[in-house]
């Protein structure tokens, strides 16, 4: 039973957004909430049916079939399909598939999700609402997860999503790729959404598992989908894909019985050489043109982290890139990561002064970094810093990691 529930959860993460995108493309964005309800009902039916009969031979095909049946029943019942949708589709697509069928082929799903992504990023929808809607519709995030990502309440997120969906309706925004001249203005938000999705998967702060490969791989897939559409296949798109490939190449080495393995302790033999080669390929493509985005700089940093051998030149280059990145796009996480590179170049004592100057007292990563820098220099102070990090950490997994660091300091004290 547990295996079936786990399979259903994984399928929900993989298929929810695809099914919503296909239904919305067929019947229009004004019915996006109906599409969400139909897909949710489909998974509820799966939970009930599979709980009694076990998993079907092809669970995905089962979901698509039931979703088709529920969709057509709903729209026919409401006379929307027969009176409005069917005539419009038949007049425009006489030679294409029957209007009564929903196309869940891989290519149609890919096209639908790409159109959905650009439709959500229409300038008529507020920027924060775009991101929230994309995380919900395209990435399958729950309301709790989105609220965590925005550091706000579920009520605020629900209101924001409601207003965004109203905009889709009132502005009559269609699920179609925008004209080429509008691509540039929307692409930054599209890339930002994909970046947020990957970041949440790479170091999850909304669930008690630090690495969520499913989210990372979905972000990478969406990024690659953009490259199939020439106007969106720009240097910064390739830079983001390179960044994701480099980070994804170290997934297996970052695991380890629920605990993240820090970079210095990672087993290089577990790195995925093919993903590193793919990252280099997209990094070369990103060098075309004269634009240097934050994705370019982050991709270069990630590239250097795929060279395990330490050298002064390596960390000096990484530190230089972090300095440039802070000028282009300052972020607290970037500032903290820069201190790690600074430590590699200048040592713990100087790095400690750099870290303390950031004064990010409400960020558990700040105290975690201070704890690391004090370890071996002043273990008592290091324990205090780790204690503050523990109090601020959001997930039990993070708290467990910090507890392990505190215990290691206690062991060192006993040995001495």
310 vs 115: which has the higher pLDDT: 115
pLDDT score at 99: 43
Q: Which residues of 283-314 are buried (b: 16+ CB within 10 A; e: fewer)?
A: bebbeeeeebbbbbbbbbbbbebbeeeeeeeb
* Residue 202: CB atoms within 10 Å: 20
- pLDDT score at 177: 84
Structure tokens at 111: 């096209």
| Distance from C-alpha of 100 to C-alpha of 27, rounded to nearest angstrom | 11
Per the document, the length of the chain is 416
Query: How far apart are alpha carbons 81 and 389 in whole angstroms?
Result: 56
Among candidate residues 9, 13, 23, 26, the one with its CA nearest the CA of residue 88: 26
Position 17 scores a pLDDT of: 87
* Domain-located, residue 8: yes
Ramachandran angles phi, psi of 229, nearest 5°: -110, 100
What is d(CA 298, CA 301) in angstroms, rounded to the nearest whole number?
5
Tell me, what's the pLDDT at 205?
57
Q: Average pLDDT, whole number, for the chain?
A: 85
Residue 415 has pLDDT above 60, yes or no: no
Q: How confident is the model at residue 98 (pLDDT cuts 50, 70, 90)?
A: very low
Position 95 scores a pLDDT of: 40
Domain-embedded: residue 174 = no
The whole-number average pLDDT for the span 40-49 is: 93
DSSP-assigned letter for residue 84: I
In a domain, residue 203? The reply is no
Domain assignment present for 88: yes
- Span between the terminal Cα atoms of the chain, in Å: 50
**Tens digit of pLDDT for each residue in 240-266?**
999 999 999 998 887 654 556 777 778
pLDDT in the model for residue 366: 94
Whole-number Å distance between alpha carbons of 34 and 21: 12
Determine the Cα–Cα distance for residues 48 and 38; give it in Å rounded to an integer. Answer: 15
Q: What is the pLDDT of residue 38?
A: 95
- CB-CB contact of 352 with 366 (8 Å): no
pLDDT for residue 265:
78
Q: Is residue 35 a part of any domain in this protein?
A: yes
Environment class of 416 (CB within 10 Å of its CB; exposed 0-12, middle 13-18, buried 19+): exposed
CA distance 90 to 112: 19
pLDDT for 365-396, tens place per residue? 999 999 999 998 999 999 999 999 999 988 78
The position carrying tokens 């972020």 is: 331
Residue 86 lies in a domain: yes
| Mean of pLDDT values over 78-87 | 62
**Lowest pLDDT segment from 41-45, 97-101, 142-146, 228-232:** 97-101
pLDDT value for 97: 41
Angle between helices 364-374 and 348-356 (to 10 degrees): 160
Q: pLDDT digit string (tens) for 309-359?
A: 888 899 999 999 999 999 998 999 999 999 999 999 999 999 999 999 999
Query: Which structural domain range is residue 43 located in?
Result: 1-95
pLDDT digits (tens, 9 = 90+) for 158-211: 888 888 888 888 888 888 888 888 887 889 889 988 998 888 777 765 554 556
* Tokens linked to 45: 């039916």
Is residue 163 included in any domain, yes or no?
no
More confident residue, 416 or 212: 212
Distance CA 16, CA 34 (A): 13
Q: Please give the structure tokens belonging to residue 76.
A: 């026919």
258 to 210, 294, 338, 397: CA distances (angstroms):
8, 31, 26, 7
Number of domains making up the chain: 1
Rg of the Cα atoms in the chain: 24
User: With pLDDT > 90 as the criterion, what percentage of the chain qualifies?
Assistant: 40
* Sign of CA pseudo-dihedral 214, 215, 217, 218: positive
For residues 60-85, give the mean pLDDT: 82
Asked if 68 contacts 51 with a C-beta cutoff of 8 angstroms, the reply is: no
Residues 1-10: tens digit of each pLDDT: 445 566 788 7
255: tokens are 């695991």
Cα angle, residue 240 at apex, residues 235 and 241 outer, rounded to 5°: 95
pLDDT at 241: 97
List Cα–Cα distances, 30 to 25, 36, 165, 166, 171, in angstroms.
Answer: 10, 12, 8, 8, 10
**Within a domain: 26:** yes
DSSP labels, 137-196: HTT---HHHHHHHHTS-HHHHHHHHHHHHHHHHHTT--SSPPPHHHHHHHHHHHHHHHHH
Q: pLDDT at position 93, please? A: 45
């Amino acid at each position: 039973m547990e295996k079936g529930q786990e399979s259903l959860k994984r399928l929900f993460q993989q298929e929810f957004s695809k099914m919503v995108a296909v239904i919305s493309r067929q019947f229009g964005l004004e019915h996006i909430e109906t599409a969400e309800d139909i897909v949710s009902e489909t998974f509820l039916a799966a939970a009930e049916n599979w709980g009694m009969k076990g998993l079907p031979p092809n669970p995905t095909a089962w979901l698509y079939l039931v979703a088709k049946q529920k969709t057509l029943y709903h729209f026919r019942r409401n006379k929307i399909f027969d009176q409005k949708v069917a005539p419009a589709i038949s007049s425009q697509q006489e030679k294409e598939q029957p209007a009564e069928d929903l196309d869940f082929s891989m290519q149609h799903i890919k096209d639908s999700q790409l159109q959905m992504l650009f439709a959500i990023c229409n300038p008529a929808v507020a920027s924060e609402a775009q991101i929230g809607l994309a995380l919900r519709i395209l990435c399958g995030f729950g309301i709790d997860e989105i609220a965590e990502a925005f550091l706000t309440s579920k009520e605020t997120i629900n209101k924001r999503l409601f207003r965004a969906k109203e905009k889709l309706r009132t502005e009559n925004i269609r699920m179609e790729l925008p004209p080429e001249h509008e691509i540039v203005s929307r692409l930054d938000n599209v890339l930002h959404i994909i970046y947020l999705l990957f970041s949440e998967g790479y170091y999850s702060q909304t669930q008690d598992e630090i690495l969520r490969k499913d989210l990372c791989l979905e972000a990478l897939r969406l990024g690659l989908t953009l490259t199939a559409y020439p106007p969106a296949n720009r240097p910064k798109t390739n830079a983001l894909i390179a960044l994701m490939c480099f980070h994804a190449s170290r997934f297996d080495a970052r695991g380890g019985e629920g605990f993240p393995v820090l970079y210095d302790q990672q087993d290089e033999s577990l790195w995925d050489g093919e993903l590193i080669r793919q990252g280099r390929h997209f990094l070369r493509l990103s060098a075309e043109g004269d634009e240097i985005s934050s994705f370019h700089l982050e991709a270069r940093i990630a590239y250097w982290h795929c060279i395990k051998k330490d050298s002064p030149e390596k960390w000096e280059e990484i530190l230089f890139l972090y300095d440039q990145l802070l000028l282009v796009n300052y972020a607290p996480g970037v500032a903290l990561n820069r201190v790690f590179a600074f430590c590699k170049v200048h040592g713990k004592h100087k790095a400690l002064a750099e870290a303390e100057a950031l004064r990010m007292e409400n960020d558990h990563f700040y105290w975690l970094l201070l704890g690391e820098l004090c370890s071996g220099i002043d273990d008592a102070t290091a324990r205090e810093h780790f204690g503050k990090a523990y109090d601020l950490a959001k997930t039990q997994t993070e708290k467990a990691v910090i507890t392990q660091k505190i215990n290691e300091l206690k062991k060192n004290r006993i040995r001495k």
